Amino acid sequence: MRYWFRNRMAGLQLAVTGVLATVCILTDPGEVAVPPIFGSISAVMVLNNVFGLVLAIIYAIGLARADLTVEDRSVRGTGVLDASLGVTMSAIMLLGLLGGPGNASVVRDVPILLGITMVAARWMPRSLASLPSIAYFFVGLLVGRNYDGETWWNWPVSSPSGWVSQGWIISSVVLGVLALVIPTRRVRQHFGADAD
């Protein structure tokens, strides 16, 4: 446990999450309209929305520090610990709601971005695992809102308390936890590791 905590930089990740949650508590940020590129209604975001992106990047860096050739064979549940860290970071960010309604989208973004990062870490290099969530976030903002309501896939511009956001929070966290917790039961091979 102590080795995992140091290896994943869990202390740093929790400290950064605490600082960002404190910033949210102390501020009720103003909104900025992001002009859409496809002619829909502008998306609205706050400066604190970048907090989720920062946490996704730090989380992916921590996941990338794993030695998967060892951890795949280990009986210790490092995947459970990795998933628990992401869920804990999301729970800490809930404190940001104390800062006002402007931070609701920030609190919504963190579990979704971390959940997508967890899923990506299962099937792609972990050092790049935050890229799908970051790309998805910016594409969603730049596409903007529809005139006839919220689309199911575009959570970055949906109402933080709406059904789209709630569905994405639940599904991304559940899928992310499963992606890290369910063991692969195979040892990843390094090129030339078995060459004699």
Provide, rounded to the nearest whole percent, the portion of the chain with pLDDT above 70.
89
Q: What phi and psi values does residue 148 have, to the nearest 5 degrees?
A: -100, 20
Integer Cα distance of 109 and 164 in angstroms: 12
User: Which pLDDT score, from 0 to 100, does residue 185 have?
Assistant: 54
Strands (E), the chain: 31-34, 43-46
Tens digits of per-residue pLDDT, 96-131?
999 888 899 999 999 999 999 999 999 899 989 999
Is residue 43 within 8 A of residue 145, CB to CB? The reply is yes
Tokens of 142: 């730049």
β-pair partners for 43 = 34
User: Which pLDDT score, from 0 to 100, does residue 30 have?
Assistant: 74
User: Which pLDDT score, from 0 to 100, does residue 39 have?
Assistant: 66
Integer Cα distance of 89 and 78 in angstroms: 17
Find the mean pLDDT for residues 170-182: 95
Q: What phi and psi values does residue 160 have, to the nearest 5 degrees?
A: -60, -25
Tokens of 58: 């730090």
Residue type at 59 in one-letter notation: Y
Q: pLDDT at residue 3 above 70?
A: yes
| Residue 62 exposure: Cα atoms within 13 Å on the Cβ side | 29
Is residue 66 within 8 A of residue 14, CB to CB? The reply is no
Lowest mean pLDDT among 42-51, 80-89, 114-123, 178-187: 178-187
Tens digits of per-residue pLDDT, 11-56?
999 999 999 999 999 987 777 888 888 767 888 888 888 999 999 9
User: Which pLDDT score, from 0 to 100, does residue 1 have?
Assistant: 81
User: Which pLDDT score, from 0 to 100, does residue 196 have?
Assistant: 38
β-pair partners for 34 = 43
Q: pLDDT at residue 142 above 80?
A: yes
Average model confidence (pLDDT) across the chain: 87
Q: pLDDT at residue 193 above 50?
A: no
